[in-house]
Amino acid sequence: MNADLLKQYLKREGATLVGIGDVSEALTSEIMHLNRGVAIAVNRNLNRETIAVLSRLQGLTVGWLSARGYRNLSIPPDSDRRKDKLITKLYKLFCHKTAATCSGLGWVGKNGLVINRQYGSRLSWATVLTNAPLAPDQPVRESECGDCDLCVRHCPSGAVNGHHWSIREPGRKIVAYEKCSALKDKRQSLEGKPNCGFCVTVCPYSRNGKVSGGTG
């Protein structure tokens, strides 16, 4: 099943990137039948309503797939903050990074975030899992961070250790999240803003440049 129609539709409606991933290997028994992941990304720089835009795009995707008789499950962009419903239990069975890498839209950087060649880590993600036999894109299999270690050097909490991600080691811990969240808590109480965002802003890909050694 050709996925171009869906991709073009979502891009017309405001998606920055859309990819289709074969996510079979990342699924647990509850959602095993939904083996395609539609990864939808929106550039956070475009506007402040990123989550609302993503939610709307997700709704359009569900409508598009349902109208053609396929099943689907939306993993919302802020899935970690949703706890009010029973369906939210399923959100943690699947992460946006898997859909993003499987659909070839990026790799997991040393900073633990999806890095896209054009937009770096400035994207927000939403995923729709479906059983529609959409033709999958080529996955990204290895990290393309190379020798760059700007995020390792700039992380104020020391959470970024410089580990390389690979699709072959899905369980590997890239970032010491406990250190990162300890700093977030502290910042939240001192400044009312949890995210420092250094790992996003120092990344050469996020600044829309090419990685060119240590010019940063």
DSSP 30: G
Task: Name the residue nearer to other proteins (CB basis): 71 or 184.
Answer: 71
- Which pair of tokens denotes residue 162? 């410089």
Q: How far apart are CA 21 and CA 14, in angstroms?
A: 20
Q: List the interface residues with other proteins, window 28-67 (CB under 8 A).
A: 30-31, 33-34
**Which residue's CB is nearer to other proteins, number 33 or number 186?**
33
Q: Please give the residues from 79 up to 98 whose contact with other proteins meets the rule CB under 8 A.
A: 85-87, 89-90
- The site string for other proteins over 2-31 (x = CB under 8 A, - otherwise) reads ----------------------------xx
With a CB cutoff of 8 Å and minimum separation 6, the contacts of 78 are 51
Residues 111-170 that bind other proteins (CB under 8 A): none
- Quickly list DSSP for 191-211: HS-----HHHHS-TTTTT---
Q: Is 173 in the site for other proteins (CB under 8 A)?
A: no
Q: What are phi and psi of 116, to 5 degrees?
A: -105, 145
Contact residues toward other proteins (CB under 8 A) are: 30-31, 33-34, 71, 73, 85-87, 89-90
